Amino acid sequence: MERERTGAIRAVLIDIDGVLTVSWEPLPGAVEAMERLRAAGLPLALVTNTTSRTRASICSRLVEAGFPVTVDDILTAPAVTAVYLREHHPDARCLLLNAGDINDDLTGVTLVEQEDDADPLTETDVDVVVVGGAGDEFGYEALNRLFHHLQRGAHLVAMHRNLYWRTADGLDLDTGAFLLGLERAARVEASITGKPSEGFFAAALAHLGADASATLMVGDDIESDVLAAQRSGITGALVKTGKYLPETHRSAEGTPDHVLDSFAALPDLLERLASGSR
């Protein structure tokens, strides 16, 4: 069921993983739908919590898959995190735990390297613990090191708190599953810079120069993508691909403005909204 929110949409925010691709393979009809949006001249931004690749790398993979996108179209959690750290923790020494090399998108951030044989009980040179995307790096030793820094007063910043994500082999654990333990053990609360934070959506709107009331967000995560966008005044569209689960949809604390079978149906939805029909 769709909620009563209609009106012409003048900009679109699009999640990548689970909406356009799964394991970087395009979903059926996604490339063609993106081409229709481009032909219509609609401003758009690809907004993603993906932390395993830089914006340039993401763009390269999408272009290889046939999507008509550029680096400037892509806004990532790491890029927004860099802005947050520069504004809220200038000159801080930051320890990053992340699966993948995203240093090129963390401009202006001082990252410290920790030696594997260093004594975590005596290290005192970390001001901010930064948690990115989960992977093999999230073992006991690494998480325990972060825990010790947090106990000594380091701030905790996380790029997102997604519990899982969709791969070609099914659902895999993501950062949120580990972040909950760190927060509870250290008795701290992480500052979240990616979706679903209001700051992330504000950055995306500013990136496009768009008004929330005339912008639509399409995603496969009902909480982090869709309902979070709606709380920021953005129209939300949930797609039944990627990490979408019927039980998560039913138990959500809100109702999406629109529900689509896939991203391929988005151009038709936008045309209906523009004509005032449903």
pLDDT band (50, 70, 90) for residue 168:
confident
118: pLDDT confidence band, cut at 50, 70 and 90?
Answer: low
Q: What's the confidence (pLDDT) of residue 272?
A: 92
| Highest mean pLDDT pick, 61-65, 113-117, 167-171 | 61-65
Burial 230-252 (b: 16+ CB within 10 A, else e): bebebbbbbbebbbbeeeeeeee
What mean pLDDT do residues 170-188 have? 95
Tell which phi-psi region holds residue 140, choosing left (phi > 0), alpha (psi between -120 and 50) or beta. alpha
Average pLDDT over residues 11-28: 96
235-to-11, 160, 229 alpha-carbon distances in Å: 10, 21, 7
Long-range contacts of range 24-31, CB-CB < 8 Å, 24 or more positions apart?
24/61, 24/65, 25/65, 25/168, 26/65, 26/66, 26/67, 27/241, 27/262, 27/263, 27/264, 28/262, 28/264, 29/262, 29/263, 29/264, 30/67, 30/262, 30/263, 30/264, 31/65, 31/66, 31/67
Give the residue-averaged pLDDT of 152-171: 90
Q: Report the share of the chain in percent with pLDDT over 70.
A: 93
Whole-prediction pTM value? 0.84
